[in-house]
Structure 1
Amino acid sequence: MRFLNQSICRPSLIRGSCAPRVASAVLGKRFLTNNGFFRVSEEVREALNSKKPVVALETTIYTHGYPYPDNVALASLLESTVRVNGGVPATVGVLDGVVHVGLEPEELIRLASSAGQSTTLKLSRRDLSYVCGLRLAGKNFNGGTTVAGTMLLSHLAGIKVFATGGLGGVHRGAESSMDISADLTELGRTPVAVVSSGCKSFLDIPRTLEYLETEGVFVGTFADGREGKVDFPAFWSRDSGLKSPMTIQNEIEAAAIIHAQHTLNIQSGLHFANPIPVEAAIPNETMESVITEALRQAEASGATGKDNTPFVLNKVKELTEGKSVPANGALIESNVRRATIMARELAILEKSQEEAQGRTSSSFNPVFSSPASSPEQPLNNAIPTKRNPTVVSKSEIVVAGALAVDFSCDFAPFTNTSSAIDPALHTSNPAIINQTLGGVAHNIAKAAHLLGASVQLHSAVGDDLSGRAALGQLSEDGMSIDSIKVLPQPARTAQYVAINNSRKDLTLAMADMKILESIPTTTVDAMLREASSASPKLLILDANWDSITLHKYLALGKSSSSTTTIFEPVSTAKALRILPPKPDHTPIVDIITPNDFELKALHDHAYSMSLFDNPAWFATIDALGIPSSGLRVPLSVTTTPAIVDSGIPQQAIKLLPFFSTILTKLGPQGVLLTQIIEPNDPILSSPEQAQYVLARNTTGDANVGGLYVRLYAPERVLKDEEVVSVNGIGDTFVGALATGLVKGKKVRDAVEFAQKASLLSLKSKESVSPDLRKLGM
């Protein structure tokens, strides 16, 4: 896909009183909120709230198009394509009768692995109430959403751009069968922009375009560098023999059309046809003969209705000797990339519209007991403290990342309430509300502080009441606030609000964590200078930073041979920020602490970016000395067969050239250490450690001595009734690990200590247990 020519100008907007007034009605629209049938992921909600580009993705391609595990690989590729191009993916599907807009990796794997099962359905608009409603009757269905189903659910969530492979259409012979895809009627009534490679060429393309015109649907085809009017594409072929109703030059024009559609409050969809890439296209004349035969066999077999398309697609695959499969993959990846750029341009256009109309966002900050600062009394100097922190110019550990005020709202129903479990929507509910200080970096720093290490916390708060509460609590805890920057409005202190039912299970959560992504460059530079002056032994970063700031901190850590860098991924989405398109040095980070889902996300993202094709990657992997027979048997011995079957140690080994020590947190199974051994490490000659040294370098590489893999089982697994909170156990683990390292321990000797610390937090109502003070090494 070629990049947009920089000489193309974005459309300018009318300013002042002439701006369209109808837009306010659209902007005031309330989209469907999370409920028992409908859930939007935290990442997608945050992206929509902060007006980031979001692209919806359908799931019938995974449940009824590709077999498992090929469908998982495709899903990972498409979500990565959205992220690489600056968007947030919102994969839409149904699990156990609940709609999910934005599937988590484990949810997506679960849906994809259910492909072919009788309880996994193909879901259009008509099917949604059926699969959701029957959940209340004890019948649980999974489902992949069609174009129509995904459009509807995307619109309910507030998503405006959706990418798919091919559009449904009018079937050949529909004048007698009345077989017309619901995709077309959905486009006539749902204002979502759909990017596809046209409709599949076994459909009646002329009648499909006529039907779309009747429904009032805009149809335009990307010129893709061609001059004049262009053909409407025919899925596997770039040309169908029919001219497109409209021609679109680029994504900027497409975004302008979408923006106008929503501003005018036109309640119908738009179809942007994106021709299949030239290198993957199959000539139209070749496909026509294939399709004729596939349709003949479908008629002979009685494959009609919703069974017709899957049957024909399977026959096309057979008749093209598999050539249609890579074409399918190429065209949908191209469509997803195109849609993401459109969504990105739309976000720019909408931001310009807001600025043109003088709209600003408003926010509510809770009132705390401390008085507000005045212009004469800056926030930093107005913090009441009971104990002044000791300012440490030199610190053993610098932790940089999120500091947030957390609110936990536990539903506490009255005795006469009709519902004793879930709070009611659209009204006030009685609750017990607790306010604590949180954020990944804060929790890591607090754990290390409680364990006796000297720590600097680098973060930011807003000049607001939440910021006052955060700084006051840090001072109360005896932690330094010297490296916490106070940003002027409109910056807001990060806040996280969790609403729990009466069983303390999460019902809804809201997160406002944008502050770290909006810190001025001059402030970041000042924070970097402070980190450098601290001369830390350890520099710990969480993934809440934007990618640019994150890598500035990493460059600082790499500039000192005495500083070890640690990266905490935070989430599957944010973890990917650590992998630049072309790493200019390896390892990128010395130690990384993902959970198994974050590890898989990093592995799949590295694969999608072709980082495993880099010669430097091959050189490190070869230097490990892995035998030609592989490592499955020794890995099963040093970990467990189940862990090996899940692919976790194999994924970690492949990532070692980028992260030389990987500590994968596996919950009750323990922690898996995967590490490159340095050539002069005494462990290579230690009989006690020999069982964990699974490969040894024989090439004389100056940086690689071998491979160390070890599973640390937990000291004990708590019973469910013993677990009080799981919120901060991963952060506690990192903070305790860091403390062990600065006290002179090797990573492999500090893991068990870190596990003990995590166990204390698991039994504490606070994210980081105060009992860490009592834990001696």
Structure 2
Amino acid sequence: MMKSPYLRPTVSFLRRFSTNQFPLKVSPEISQAIHENKPVVSLESTIITHGFPYPENLEMARAVELKIRENGCAPATCAFIKGVPYVGLEDRQIEQLAAKKGVNKVSRRDVGATMAQRLDGGTTIAGTMILSHLAGIDVFATGGLGGVHRDGHITMDVSADLTELSRTPVTVVCAGPKLILDIPRTMEFLETQGVFVGTYNDNGREKVDIPGFFCRSLGVKSPYTFSSWQEIALIVYNQNQVMGLSLGNLVCVPPPSESCLDSGMIESIISAANAEAAKKGIMGKELTPFLLLNIAAATKGKSVDCNRNFVINNAQAACEIAKQLCEMKSSGETNAPAAANLLFQPSTGLKQLKSKQDRGGDEVVSSTKPKDETTIVPSQPVFKDKVDTIILGLVALDTICTLQQKPLLGDSNPGSIAASLGGVGYNVSLAHKYGLQNQNLKNTYRFVSAVGDDLAGSTIINGLKDQDLDISGIKICQGSLTAQYNAVLDSEGSLVVACADMHIFESVGLMNHFSREIEKAQPRQIVVDCNLLPKALECVFAAAASLPLRPAVIVEPTSAPKLARLSQVNSSKLKVFPHNIVLLITPTAAELEQIHSSFAQREFFDDYDTWFPALDSLGIDAVFREKLTAFGLKFPAIKELLQKGTFQQAFQLLPYIPNILVKVGEHGCLLIKLSTNVGDYRSIPTTSRYVPTATLVSSGKVHEDDKNFGIVVEYYDVPEENKHLNVVNVTGAGDSFLGYLSAALVSNNWMGSGIESLEQEWGKWETIYKSQLASGKSLESPLAISEEISKIE
């Protein structure tokens, strides 16, 4: 029978699948630093791609990053690599940009075109501010600022750097506007746009001018001055964190006296170069590099050396500001005595002087504000509701009965009875907490659930408080019964029978609660269990999709019957790769069979427009099937899964859920993953002690950039530590596995379709290995979730 033309995977289709869920790529180092409130300084890349020739540009980029590290901060160089925006580059990426010619220059207007055409791009100040803000970075170091060009009032040649400062809350640390510009009009433009401009008074001088990149003074008075990094950090903190103003701040650091050039000499060079540019018709974005080249030639390269020194000097200053900001965020500080040292230098007749102690003059006198007037400010930052992870699921009062001998039906059995907090969501939340403690991570999380207004509900609320868990996400439902779970275990800890009353969590009325909590938290990651009704799951997925930075959604199956609810979600809400909402599920083989069956019944596998082309591109051919057969001959657990059809079921589900981590009990676990470059897996060093027991990849389909779209299968045998466990309780093993896993994923998200770094891949191996250890700790504990998880080595 002839195939429909709709079934053939096209180049455009493959191109769509070569991207991850959200295009911004933040390096693991930067991501972890941001979410642990450690100082980060971002850097532009046009200085690499357009500012210096190769290899001087590479040497300069490395020197600036080194200076930032030496000052206790993480450097985040921003750029576009093949259309993908990156925050934090590896050294090989910096070298690639430095050596390449014809790299696009990316300001705000160029972002979409650079991405659409998959271009390499060096980010300007404006472009770097955008990427920095999206990543959550507050401070950015550069050389000189763009501005209003000479005769800009006629030509309207005004740098986009200025307008970006008026709309993006990132603090730019520079050596002032470039001397080639109209400095007074640049300052007027920034004042009109409401941008704070302050200059560092590094020697206690009486009059402080704006520096002019190459020169310490241009004769244009700085609106504000400051004499310590704490002062300027406090201004930035109050502007952007306390008041939440959506605009940037310009911090000017005068170049060191030994590095600066004579302003008169530079001015004469610029005048001659401007005249030559006018004759040649050079204008717009071509004008600045033309003028800088002329300055470099006339100064015999001294201006280039100055540029390099200024960038390093500014980077050091930015580090000091970034470190102060981190301290203020940690303490919630909104005011400090140091603020009194700030000097405002207005252009009007009004005057404000520093204290006699500081300047040798009169005490502070202000014509606009009484000396003893107090400013009222909020006591906490405005972003206090945001967390890294939302864990959304069931909390219940569990009663566990353990029999002393073989069960005797129809009669009373001797044993022990213990009541505790339980429920999949609660268990995962508690394991997540222990996982963060074990990995020494400071990522934040919130448990979102519901209880009734009854005795069981009060018991749960008090229990959560005793665990030091955030209860702001727990809704108390009037007139409802709190969820309860009763289980009977045999003397070996295996489940005999259980009864569950979870009706409260099947209420449609909870959907608004879930949506509000997700919107409030703006999480990077959502873990949800399948106790929710399909409509509630749809609500969670829709709320996640509506956020500016779409979070990774992880689904805990709960049980085979309840996992089928995922198939009852409208297929348009699940979406096919690369637009997936759900990135990871962690089923058993039986649960996977159930979800596959329910997807088939709901005709998810009859979508020939989106699902089939994705599946067809995975390279599931005869060669790959032969490899799987050989795989099964080597590992009995794999052979059994092949006979059950587990692999075939997972492959068909991959376009909807690109990461499927199958728990195989005493045989370990199996990661089946969709990849946009399976070739990368052939070159990964395997010297890590956590390396998978075996790895298998399909050949896939080749598309642009010679990348292969295919499948990766990684088998992780059970750890040696788990092979001789004294099993006491099996109820929380799976929840412990996912809780530890989700704690690690916030700082090392490997759920995307590509390998970002060797550290990311090795981190994934370690995480899965230790998630199995977490299961083992709980299997040996009378409690569903063992506190020993926090002590895993």
> Shorter-chain TM-score: which interval?
0.3 to 0.5
Structure 1 length normalisation: TM-score?
0.47
Larger Rg: 2
Structure with greater contact order relative to length (CA < 8 Å, sep ≥ 6) = 2
Normalised to the residue count of structure 2, the TM-score between the two structures is 0.47
